[in-house]
Structure 1
Amino acid sequence: MNKLNLMRKTNLLQKSSVLFLAALMSIFFISCSDDDDDDEYGNWVESSTFDGNSRANSVSFTIGNKGYLVTGYDGDDYLNDTWEYNSDDDYWVQRAAFPGTPRSGAVGFTINGKGYLGTGFDGDNELKDFWEYDPTTDSWTQKADFGGTARYGAIGFSIGNSGYIGTGYDGSEQKDFWKYDVATDSWEQSVGFGGQKRKDASVFVIDDIAYVGLGIHNGAYEEDFYSFNGTNWTRLTDLDDDDDDDDDFEILLSSGVSFSLNGLGYITTGISGSITTESWVYDPSSDTWDELPEFEGSARQNASAFTFPNKAFVAMGRSGSYYFDDVWEFRPDELENEDD
């Protein structure tokens, strides 16, 4: 073989090697790009296990950097214990027992550094008593009874210096809302809610606006979704939006847990035909929902939640007759990692 032919073959081999390497690099980068596309924000990390009995249908509220979990049902007994969670150091402390009737299915909220708890079910009767918890003295004080009928499976929230309780079950599903005035320790019926009757609904509050939806009525899941600013109710996009576009979604469930964090609303777990681990985020600026990575604990219903400035926790709940005592921290700005 003459020297010219040898050089030509050498050049061809070099070009082939370069092309082969380029193809491999292209596949590598495409693969990395695909992996990045699959990454989702919203990471669930298991936190310190609850120190008390496993339970569901508890009341939870947040005061400062502490979360509070009160009452509930453990499968055998209705409970009246009060627990405080230190979110900075990840530990639980038992506080003064709730002096009212042990119960489940009550509601709670926070106003001006104090926690409030009312309504519920004691195994025989629906309840309508209402209580205030002061963390500085670790004491409970009974307040004026809830203004509506005795009930459980209602929702409660606060807007500014006022508290609200509405919907729920008193022998049938309800849709009324009542406003609590802290200064006068009194209740008055609030402006009418245009949505359907329901029990086991969900609510979260963003910038002093409550967002209410989900729940069940006459055995069917409710699809309407509303905002409430303390004066007016506004109907928003239904929770089974089926427009012919890429943004279709369906969120139909009851007994889920909801919370707000950094200007967004979140819903996770609950019953949707069966218990679920689905998680969703709501953006009030666009009235849109997006699906999140699923809750990494076991599927459950009747869990509780409390939130702090940059993190939220979902705790307890039940699956059939099994009651949980685990606690999960939700980190919205971290990529999903099922191994942490």
Structure 2
Amino acid sequence: MKAYLLFLILPFFISCNNDEFVSIDAEKITLNHTSIDLKGSNTLQLIATISPSNTTDKEVTWESSDTTIVSVNNKGVVKPINIGSSEITASTNDNISAICKITVTTSGSWDKKADFANGMGRHGAVSFSIGDKAYVGLGSDYQYDYDVFGGNPITSQGGFKDDFWEYNAETDTWRRLNDFPGEKRTEAVSFSINGKGYVGLGEYLAVEPDANGLNSETGFKQDFWEYDPDNDTWKQLSDFPGEGRLKPIGFAINKKGYVGFGGYYDKRDFWEFSPSDNSWNRLPDYPGESSGGVVGFSIDNKGYVGFGLNSDNYLPSTDLWEYSPETNSWNEKQSAKIPTYYATGPDAHATFYATGFSLNGEGYICLDVNSVWKYNPSSDEWTGLIERFPSVGNNRLKSKTNFVVNGKAFLGLGLNFSICGNHCQTGIPSFSIYQFVP
């Protein structure tokens, strides 16, 4: 019997050993999308199906034809970076491929709200939110026509302001409050803590202009003030210990205020303000490459600072740094990859006049050319451009103001900047306010 079984099994093993492995090549690859529009705030999962189903090698390689528009990882996840079109190619090792055309469109929208202060234009204003109200004021209504080859403004009018206004987001109405008691100023700093608003620093008019509106001189303030909305009053606090400046950044974290940077290209100091004892404490200086015109906002007990102009070559900086009060330290984050045309030519100062805010755990940066960028701190990624901020004739809009009330973000005001002739540029203050809808 044993011999008989061996006689039956042995030919089977001999037959198996003589068989050669047969590789099944891919004949076709298909994608779940061949063409699709992708909003700038979304990602897309591409799925590749290889035929025949018993293909031996099913490995797929992914590639984007333009990585400045979209990127794709080794699992087929597409991430938008900029508005435009790119082709994603999925390829097998058998040189079989399929293509999906991705067109990155905008996301988000802007909803026009009531004009600021009954239609009074303003740029460089401060703002903060307390409860379900926003508070906006100061800044400048200065407007001009300017000779691009240098020299004085051809015409000019307006000046620095000290008025303050309350905005009710529920009724979409503005109400004038008591004026700010300090010097009239523009490009100051502001934030709110525990139901109080804080305002200080900024640029003021040290020498009044002559009869032609020319030859004025400005200076920079160090004073600091607290606003109480319950009784509509202001109280002066301890001066900011650093040098006076325009365009400082400010935000609040855990009942403390954080102020610093600003100036044109020369300020990197960073300070903590404690309302409980009206005191200032100097923190580690900002380590980023920019110094003038940086943007700041806070998310989940961390501060984020970046953009502005590089102090070495005065070109736009797009680096971003995270400040942790817990460790009192800075951590470099992912830089925004803005288009190269913002780094040269007429848009070279686009990041100097940027503004930033946080909403729903993400950060937003709006350049003065009105493009908007979104930052996700969890993934440390920028999703690229979303819907451009509206302005008159798509003009550049410098020194805008923003505030967030009850989970709703608002952006507006600023200086509409456009060409008015062969050698002329004009700046007209805007009074428009828009709500951003992600």
TM-score (norm 2): 0.63
Q: 2:108 corresponds to which residue? A: 42
Matches within 5 A, 1:143-162: 143-162=237-256
**Matched residue, 2:316:** 221
Residue 40 of structure 1, CA deviation: 4.3
Assess if the C-alpha contact under 8 Å between 1:208 and 1:229 holds in 2: yes
1:267 aligned partner = 365
Q: Distance in 1 between matches of 2:379 and 2:107?
A: 19
Amino acid of the residue matched to residue 43 of structure 1? Answer: S
Work out whether residues 57 and 302 of structure 1, in 8 Å CA contact, stay in contact via their aligned partners in 2: yes
Within 5 Å, which residues of 2 pair with 1:195-274?
195-218=288-311, 219-230=314-325, 231-240=328-337, 253-270=351-368
Percent identical residues: 34
CA RMSD of aligned residues (A): 2.4
- Structure with bigger RCO (C-alpha 8 Å, 6+ apart): 1
Partner of 2:18: none
Which amino acid in 2 is paired with 1:160?
N
Alpha-carbon contact 1:262-1:309 (below 8 Å) kept: no
What is the CA-CA distance between 1:39 and the residue it aligns to?
Answer: 6.1
Residue from 259, 265, 279 that aligns with 1:165? 259
Q: Is 1:101 equivalent to 2:198 in the alignment?
A: no
1:295 corresponds in structure 2 to 389
1:307 counterpart (397, 404, 407): 404
Taking a change above 3 Å as real, the CA distance of residues 35 and 229 of structure 1, as seen in their structure-2 partners, is closer
CA distance in 1, matches of 2:38, 2:283: 50
Question: Separation in 2 of the partners of 1:235 and 1:92?
Answer: 40
Q: Is the 8 A contact 1:205 1:211 kept in 2?
A: yes
In the other structure, the counterpart of 1:180 is 273
Return the alpha-carbon distance in structure 1 between the equivalents of residues 37 and 252 of structure 2: 44
User: Hey, what's the Cα distance between the residues in 1 that align with 2:220 and 2:280?
Assistant: 18
Find the aligned partners of 2:258 and 2:104 in 1 and give their Cα distance.
41
Q: 1:14-33 to 2 correspondence within 5 Å?
A: none
- The equivalent of 1:277 in structure 2 is 370
| TM-superposed deviation, 1:210 | 1.0
Structure 1 unmatched runs, 5+: 1-28, 243-250, 271-275, 333-340
Partner of 1:79: 161
2 CA distance for matches of 1:296 and 1:94? 26
Deviations 1:280-327 (A, max 9, x none): 111111111112111123430100000123311002000232110000
Residues 277 and 192 of structure 1: is their aligned pair in 2 closer, same or farther, counting only changes over 3 Å? Answer: closer
Paired residues, what number?
290
Cα deviation per residue 1:58-117 (whole Å; 9 max; x = unaligned)? 101111111111200101111000000001110000001000000001000011111100
After TM superposition, the score normalised by the length of structure 1 is 0.80
Change (3 A) 1:93 1:241: closer
- Structure 2 unaligned regions, length at least 5: 1-32, 40-102, 143-157, 206-217, 340-348, 418-426
What is the CA deviation profile of residues 110-140 of structure 1, one whole-angstrom value per residue up to 9, with x for unaligned ones?
Answer: 1111110010011321110000000001000
Q: Any idea what SS the aligned residue of 2:398 has?
A: coil
Q: In terms of Rg, which structure is larger?
A: 2
CA drift of 1:46 comes to 0.8
